[in-house]
Structures are given as C-alpha cells and as structure tokens.
Structure 1
C-alpha cells in the first residue's frame, strides 16, 4: 500500500470566531477526505467536531467545503488532489457555525415545514394509488435527494445575502414544490392550493436566476435547474401572465359577483 503525507488546512472555531489550522496527515491509497479527517481526530485533534453517519454518500451528513467547493467528504477521493497540494476544509459558508466543521442547518428544516405536503386524491384509499411510470419519471428524479444541502449552500441567493433567507426557500425546497406540482395524483388544486402561486409568492421562486450552481454540486446528479426550477418558473409565468388564464379568471369572478 502506498502512503504519503499530505498537507491539510482545517477550520477550527465556533460561533464566536476561529481560523484555519495547518496539519500534516498520513494518506493511504483509496482513501477519501473523511478518512483523513477521522485520522486527524485520532492522532492530532481529538476534539475536532465533524458531522457524519453513513460514509457511503447517502445520508448527506458530512457536507463541507473542500478547497472552496461544497462537497461530501465521504465522496471526495484524495486521488483528485495533487500530493503536494494543500487541501483546505471549511464548514458550509451559508449556515451558522456551531463548532469546527459542524454548521447549524436548521434553516433548511424550517423551510421544509413551509412546503405544504402531498394532498391525497379524494375517493382513493391509501395504498390504492396507481400511476403510470411515464407520469412520474421526472418527479422521481427529485426523490434521489439526500438532503446534504450542498445546493442550498452554493446558491448565491442564500450564500451571499443573509437578508434573503426569510423569503427564499432555496433550490432544494423549490425542487420539492416542483415535484409535488408534477405529481399526477397530487390534489392540491382541488383543496384550493395553487403550488405555482405559492412557489412565486411564498417560497421566492423569482429570486432564482438559474445559474445552475445547485446542479453542479449535487452529489446525486439531479438536474435541479433544468428539470425542476426552470419548468416550475415556466408554469408559474403561464399561470400568472397567460391572457387566456387571465380572461378565464376575470369571467369566473364576474360570474361569482353576478349569479344571473
């Protein structure tokens, strides 16, 4: 087995402040960044705080920024770096630091709660739902999300503008709205819920300017921008500005005002 010593620069600190510290850590063939962080904990920094769980790229826990790019530490192989390269690991920049590489991502769970859940179709018992595969292929892609929140972290609307967080759900949860809006059995409209309107007015769809940075960092390869956000924007615009829709709404309002 080939081994070598690699230079690492790791952010240490808490909500009060901190900075980068330099370490030299042994690296073995086939290892990923998370392996090195664990070795660093075992040999030099036993109090280093890091969040992880599955080490298989499926739990989304070990999100961090590696050389400035949002990544999963467990899916970033050391072989992608030159042996004489300094590897810098910092916490997700878009969220408050708790300690070291651990950030407070509760913003995301608050936004998740703001998205209305799937509305079951009336008259169909649970377990009796039937759909054609062709009807769910696109929305099924979005179910691969592991909620690593790398897309949320890299989205500059969240990352660079703290003041936007109150009005903007971020790409992960706009994708959730898109998934529900595409669902062939979602009966939100029958319940008086217009998902396209809420995407625009309550979840900040208009803030997204489709730079595709969220798609670029997704470890599951979900085409967030092309398959979720752009189609949702198109449907929201059609709903709001289509002259036939406007005329239909006008006629319905007039009919309601004058039942004759």
Structure 2
C-alpha cells in the first residue's frame, strides 16, 4: 500500500499516539499564513538579505495579526532562498521548500510528536542552512518514518547520542536565534521523510522545483502530524 495512505491510516487510528510539536492551542491561538513565493510583494529583497530586518518583518506580521505562530511552506516555490549561495546550483537553483516552517520567537519550545529514537543530529552551521538539527526515527506499526527539526538552539545538541529513546511529548529543544539557526528569523523547519537514504544530521529541506514530483513521493505533508487548521 502507498506509504502516504499507511501514514494517514496510522494517524487516524492512533490519535493518542500523536502529540504536539509546539505549544499550540487550537481554541486560543491564531496562525498567520506566511507566503514566501513571488506573490509576496510586501517583503523586499533588502528585507530578506538583512536578517534583523527580515526578523522584524516576521514579528510585525505576527503581532499585527494577533497570531502566536506563523506557518506555511510545504512544497512552496520560494523566492527567499536567493539570500544565500547555499541554495545555488549550476543548472537550477534550489527554491522548493519541502517541509513546514513554524515562525515564533527564539526560545519557543519544540516537542517530539511521536515516540521514537534519535537517528542523528548535527550543527549545519552555514549561512542559510538549518543550523542545529535533530532527526528522529519512528516505527509506526511497521511503517518507518523520520522527522526533522531544523533551526534549533545550539545547546539542544548537548548530551544527545544516536539511538537515544525519545517519548511522545518529550521536549527536544527550542527555536534558535539567528546566531545559532543559520542566520534566519527564529522558526522551526519541521519535515517528514519515509526514506532518509544515507543522510545523517541533515536532509534536503529545499530542492529543485523541477524535481517536485520525486520529493512529494518521499515527503508527506507535515500537517498530517501537526494537525493545524487552515489559517484564516
């Protein structure tokens, strides 16, 4: 059976086995739907290139709309990656965002939504990269699933080891500041993968748009776990 269907069936039939990623309360917390495609003409190239200005722009949107979190990005064709040579390739620059970003202040707590163990971790310390990253491995009634948490605080990697057991709801870390998180406004990159191949502590979170069909097969929509409502 298709792995996407298997995952959806597991989530539906095991609702108590799925926990939170952040402290989101659907009854009280609003979500701001960030759009980082070319359609967003309110964010200038100068804003994007200056992390302080970019952070102020994000915060203004959240505060001005009374939103605790901003969210979005799954399979989004983004223009913001022009800010870093990290996403450039000779034939086609990487612009397809593969996970979901959750935007909030530095120090926002991050939790494991599913029980599993630490597959790997790394400080991907490049401009525009993930910064501190943790990857968990889960076995969902025989379905192998990996979850990635990028842009964490550097201190969150201390004391970890591959194979460490992680319980559902266990705190993994917190949103890092720009000095830790790859020079981005504070946010979490949350991504699911069925096959991680031989990657460790890192896995593509941005890919070539022309290869979207390939990536969709391996990377399900993270909202199947997050279970966020469509933001208004």
TM value normalised by structure 1: 0.25
Structure with the largest fraction of helix: 1
- Which has more strand, going by share of residues? 2
Larger relative contact order (C-alpha < 8 A, sep ≥ 6)? 2
The structure whose Rg is larger is: 1
Task: Please give the TM-score of this superposition, normalised by the length of structure 2.
Answer: 0.27
